[in-house]
Structure 1
């Protein structure tokens, strides 16, 4: 009889585990089917990136994008809300016109930097190059000469070709010569800035106070036709990034005493302090509603392009994964949340604020999956220093189709990320946040914070793969009977300091920014 009882129990356990495996496979199959056959990514990308555009914190486009996301989630039957966490300097980009008018007519490619002050009328003036002075005293004597002129504050690059182009076509002697020249020029220009007594942030302000008509520079991204576009420090005169090709033209003309003149008119509006907010979407859990699995991507961007790969593709991945989960897994065991964060670009402020404001979620977080490094397929996942992360993530990855899983390299337990993207806000407080690291697609040179970060750079097959992967990982994390432990692994010795590695410390959110 005892043997018969054991047999019945074993049979029941086998039947139950088989039923679970069949259910699991059915849900995974439905996730893959929905993500492959009914993908909404192209439509979402067009609406967000082409229709609304860049989403700089404090701009009307960010507000518009937030309303758009809420409408999308509502249409999918997903509860979503705005969560205000602070305010930021409001600013609205207007039109820009830049032309060389002497010694010949030439339209200049350039972009006013974010938060550059607006101009009431066009200004035509001569260009002048930041001089190579001996020290700050000599610079102070030179300063009056900037009055009424556009001051060039960036080095003139020795080449506009990326290094891989040189490597493919150049002779070894030519490549070495170019690199030596660039290294020497870079060091010399760094010393030129230092000798003024100012730095890259304070120098434009000093030139503004001295009466300059405007600041022009070039932040080349080491790719054909690509510049990085960040923020301005001036308050009354324009700060403009000139494309490398045109910056070099103006620099050479100025250096050779030909006194080129350019006309600049840039328009923008100050909006005062405006609310900053995160978008939080939710699919309520049925068995463990007070435990959470999170999807994560920052919603804001810089605005030189449209923020397509930083972080439009991360945003689209998480929205599409939520849409798929609502259809294929509408009644999760744990509550599924998605966080679309604001002001990541200024220091992870939105996610840091969420961590501060929601200790109850942080304390009961099963796992968070964040994507934020371009359009490429996910190729690496690390354990972020959590000792048991490998046991869980490896188990969850087993459910992912091999066509997606085979490309992913894992490293466990790994080391905790101290910054870089929003997962780090959670890791800093000991909560299991993980980065879904993507294949490059020349992200660093061509789209990260650049004027070329636009819809056409998206590789939709890779983003589709990422949405399916994320949905499956979230499903598996929600279903897992066990809760991921938060034990921290012993960290390796820091090679710079020679001391044992330390866990990153929590940093408070800047809840009133942009007014410095």
Structure 2
């Protein structure tokens, strides 16, 4: 009789595990099918990148994008909300138009930096170069010369060709010569800046106070025709970035005392203090509603381009994964949340605010998956220093189709990220946040924070792969009967200073950006 009872129990366990395996396979198959046959990625990309555009925190574009995301989630039957967590300097970009008018007429490629002051009317003035001075006293004597002029404060690059182009075509002696010249010029320019008694942040303000008509920069991103576009430090005069090709031309003309003149029209509006917010979507759990699995990507961008790969592609990956999950897995065991964070670009502020404001979610977080390094397919997942992360993530990855899984390298327990993107806000407080790290597609120089970060750089096959991967990981994390332990590795890799590795400390969110 005992043997018969054992046989019945074993049969029941086998039947239960078989049913779960069949259910799991069915859900995974449906995730893949929905992502493949009914992808919404191209449509979402067009609406967000082409129709709304960049999403700089504090701008109407960010606000419009937030309302768009809420509308999309509502249409998919997903509860979503805006969570206000702070306020920001409101600003709206207008037209930037730059022309050289002497010694010849030429339209210049360039744009004003974010938060650059608006101009009441176009200004035409001579362009001059920040001079070499021996010290701050000599600089102060020169400073009145800037009155009424546009001042160039960036180094003139010796080449506009990226290094890989040189490696492909140049003789070894030529590339060595170029690199030596660039290193020498870079060192000399740093000294030129430091000898003024200011730094790259305070120098524009000093020139502004001395009566300069505007500040002209070039922040080359080491690729053909690509610059990084960040923020201005001036309050009353425009700061514009001019593309390397045109910057070099103006620099050479000024350097040869040909007194080039340009006309700048840079329009913008100050909008006062505006609220800033995260967008949070939710699919309520059934068995463990007070435990959470999270999808994560920052919603804001810089605005030199349209923020397509930083982090529009991460945003769309998470939205598409949520849409798929709602359709094929509408009753998850744990509550599924998606966080679209604001002001990541100014210091992970949106996700840090969420961590501060929602200790109940942080305390009961099973896992968070964040994507934020371009359009490429995910190729690396690390354990962020959590001792048992490998046991769980490896198990969850087993459900992922081999065509996606075999591309992914894992590193467990790995090392905790202290910054870089929003997963780090969770890691710092000991919550299991993980980065879905993508392959490059020349992200670092061509699209990260640049004027070329636009729709045409998106690789939709890779995005579909990432949406499938994310949806399956979230599904598996929701279904897992066990909760991922938070034990921290006691053998963290040494830091760059050679000192023993330490767990990162939490950092407070800046809730009043640009208002001090």
Contact conserved, 2:286 with 2:334, CA < 8 A, in 1? yes
Shift of 1:493: 4.6
Match for residue 312 of structure 1? Answer: 312
- CA deviation after TM superposition for structure 1 residue 457, in Å: 0.1
Checking the alignment, whether the CA contact within 8 Å between 2:89 and 2:513 is kept in structure 1 is yes
Query: How far apart in 2 are the matches of 1:135 and 1:515?
Result: 33
Query: Match of 1:337, SS?
Result: strand
Q: Which runs of 5+ in 2 are unaligned?
A: none
Match of 1:257 in 2: 257
- TM-superposition CA deviations, 1:263-284 (whole Å, max 9, x none): 0010000001100000000000
Query: 1:243 is matched with which residue?
Result: 243
Residue 500 (structure 1) shift = 1.7
The residue number in structure 2 matching 1:281 is 281
Matched, 1:506 2:506: yes
- Kindly state the Cα deviation for residue 498 of structure 1 after the two structures are TM-superposed: 3.1
The two structures have a TM-score, normalised by structure 1, of 1.00
Residue 495 (structure 1) shift? 4.7
Partner-residue secondary structure (3-state), 2:449 = coil
How far 1:490 sits from its partner (Å)?
1.4
Once the two structures are superposed, the pairs formed by residues 476-515 of structure 1 within 5 Å of their partners are 476-515=476-515
SS of residue matched to 1:207: helix
1:192-223 deviation line (CA, Å, top 9, x unaligned): 00000000100000000000000001000000
* Deviation per residue, 1:242-270 (Å, 9 max, x gap): 00000000000000010000000100000
- What's the counterpart of residue 440 of structure 1? 440
Give me the whole-angstrom Cα distance separating, in 2, the residues matched to 1:341 and 1:85. 10
8 Å CA contact retained: 1:415, 1:491: no
User: Matches of 1:408 and 1:36 in 2, distance apart?
Assistant: 20
Instruction: Name the counterpart of 1:168.
Output: 168
CA distance in 2, matches of 1:150, 1:319: 44
C-alpha distance in structure 1 between counterparts of 2:136 and 2:80, whole Å: 55
TM-score (norm 2): 1.00
| Structure 1: gaps of 5 or more residues | none
Aligned with 1:501: secondary structure? coil
The aligned runs of 1:67-466 (5 Å cut-off) are 67-466=67-466
Determine if contact 2:385/2:492 at 8 Å carries over to the other structure: no
Question: Is the contact made by 2:117 and 2:238 (CA closer than 8 Å) also made in structure 1?
Answer: yes
Separation of aligned partners in 2, 1:279 and 1:498: 40
- Does residue 27 (structure 1) correspond to residue 27 (structure 2)? The answer is yes
Shift of 1:97: 1.1
| Residue aligned with 1:467, SS | helix
1:330-355 CA deviation, whole Å, 9 max, x = no partner?
00000000000000000000000000
**SS of residue matched to 1:494:** coil
Q: Is the 8 A contact 1:491 1:502 kept in 2?
A: no
Q: How far does residue 496 in structure 1 lie from its aligned partner after superposition?
A: 3.3
Partners in 2 of 1:223 and 1:310 — Cα distance? 17
| Aligned residues between the structures | 516
Q: Is the 8 Å Cα contact of residues 293 and 336 (structure 1) preserved in structure 2?
A: yes
Deviations along 1:476-510, whole A, 9 cap, x unmatched?
00000000000000133525333321100000000
**SS in structure 2 opposite 1:335?**
strand
Equivalent pair of 1:116/1:234 in contact (CA under 8 Å): yes
Equivalent pair of 1:373/1:443 in contact (CA under 8 Å): yes
Report Cα offsets for 1:220-241 as digits up to 9, x if no partner.
Answer: 0000000000000000000000
